[in-house]
Amino acid sequence: MQKPSLPSGTRDFGPVVLKRRKAIMQVLERVFVSHGFDPLETPALENLKTLQGKYGDEGDQLLFRILNSGDYLSKAPEADRHDSKALSPWIADRGLRYDLTVPLARFVVMNRGQLPMPFKRYQMQPVWRADRPQKGRYREFWQCDIDVVGADSVLCEAELVEMYLKAFQQLGLGVEIRINHRGLLDSLMPSLGSASAWSEFMVAMDKADKIGQEGVSQELRNRHLEHAVRVWEGLCAAQQEGDFESKLKAFEALAFFKNEDANAQSILQAEEALKKAADELRLLRSLLPAQASVVLDLTLARGLSYYTGAVFEVSPKDERLPLDFRLGSIGGGGRYDNLTGAFGLPDVPGVGVSFGLDRIYDTMEAAGLFDQMPSTWKGILFCPMDEASFPDAVRLAREVRHCGYAAEVYPSAAKLKKQLDYANQRGWCLAAILGENERLSQTVALKDLNEGSQSTVSYDDLVTHLKTHLPNG
């Protein structure tokens, strides 16, 4: 006999958990729909050609590949059969989707001309990554994405940030939204000297919240980027400024700290990138509620290589969370001006953000937000005491459901203790006990499971009785 088990990094969602997850998704969906977004679903499987090369080398390693059917090995040349890397393209043509943005880009390209532009869609589906599972990291997890394709206005960024704010407010979870702009980071290029130094700088900088300012400096020194340490320290000084505008001003002053070796052309490009980015950020900030908890984070880089404009990240910031609670971000996104370019359709701008459902759930659980949210059925469990009561119980349950309340008949004439235990476990708030005595007088003994009180209600009065005890059907 084999012990049942689950693939690493995957989970079952039992009734209690799933009801809470669906409650979260309902909140998100209501926000999405209220901003005019339309739903989209795409297949779990995509052609590997669609997925590969979109997430960088690291991302390609994390793609789940699907073995071809049939005698796939015969197609592979003998020379490639002993090297798994060389063999892979011969035996796997499809993979599981890695995120929802690339499938969206594919969909937009395949359906161009038929979609209203700008195309605003939301999508809530699982994605898969062959990552090492850890706390808050799963191999199968759900993303809830909203994207606007075909519009380059900062209005879109502002709308998405506002939806972040609204959604987390409705979920009751305190968050901080950090914003940065790829243009600001690009403008550091002349100061850093080379493209490779720039990207190493990005990788090191992204770890700042984990290893601290000094840790990043150390890492830059380890990578022999002495020059970059000065840029980093300048960046941190700007980051120390309090509000959005002061940070931005400090950064603008910093970016003109240039490497003398840089040529005039690259300096000019950097200045243009900086000006455009700063203008966009100022406009974006002005479109958001003044008191909104949105901060400029000059050290925010975000990994995905396709971002070209504003980038966002959401972190939990809630005093109910344990002090040592760390899960990373629970959402993120940004502007990508050239994603569909990879599918042969250039110049379609897009911007989108993602809600990490699993981490949102884990965070809300850690903050105790589910404790005061017991999922009680608004309805009634019928408890038949003998088999002769089954017909009346079934008929009454039908009437109750017809009026919009939930009802269930316990499927046997088990002991009352057992039936009431079941009712409590399932969260029913009322139990209707129905036995020989009740049947003869055409009544039920209606027990309030929260208060413990009990009253006799006739068959005919049951529905009206429910209406007074269970408002809001």
Partner RNA sequence: GCGGUUAUAGCUCAGUUGGUUAGAGCAUCAGCUUGUGGCGCUGAGGGUCGCCGGUUCGAGCCCGGUUAAUCGCCCCA
Task: Name residues whose C-beta falls within 8 Å of residue 73's C-beta, 6 or more positions apart in sequence.
Answer: 81, 90, 91
Q: Which is nearer to RNA, 8 or 26 (CB)?
A: 8
Q: For residue 170, give the amino acid letter.
A: Q
Q: How far is the CB of 113 from RNA (least distance, A)?
A: 30
Q: Which is nearer to RNA, 120 or 359 (CB)?
A: 359
Q: How far is the CB of 71 from RNA (least distance, A)?
A: 26
Bridge pairing between strands 428-434 and 377-384: parallel
135 three-state secondary structure: coil
Q: How far is the CB of 194 from RNA (least distance, A)?
A: 18
Show the tokens assigned to 424. 């409590």
Q: How far is the CB of 192 from RNA (least distance, A)?
A: 17
Q: Which is nearer to RNA, 59 or 95 (CB)?
A: 59
What's the Cα-to-Cα distance from 27 to each of 16, 156, 176, 233, 312, rounded to whole Å? Answer: 17, 21, 19, 41, 21
- Helix (H) / strand (E) element for 33: namely helix 15-34
CA distance 28 to 238: 35
Q: Which is nearer to RNA, 404 or 435 (CB)?
A: 435
- Helix (H) / strand (E) element for 292: namely none
Q: Which is nearer to RNA, 39 or 56 (CB)?
A: 56
Q: How far is the CB of 175 from RNA (least distance, A)?
A: 12
Provide the CB-side half-sphere exposure for 321 (13 A, CA). Answer: 19
- The single residue listed with the structure tokens 């459902």 is 357
99 three-state secondary structure: coil
Q: How far is the CB of 285 from RNA (least distance, A)?
A: 22
Residues that bind RNA (CB under 7 A): 5-9, 56, 58-59, 129, 131-139, 141, 143, 203, 206-207, 210, 302-304, 313, 326, 328-332, 354, 356, 358-359, 385, 415-418, 420-421, 423-425, 433, 435-438, 445, 447-452, 454
Q: Which is nearer to RNA, 273 or 433 (CB)?
A: 433
Q: How far is the CB of 448 from RNA (least distance, A)?
A: 7
Q: Which is nearer to RNA, 263 or 454 (CB)?
A: 454
Show the tokens assigned to 188. 């550091």
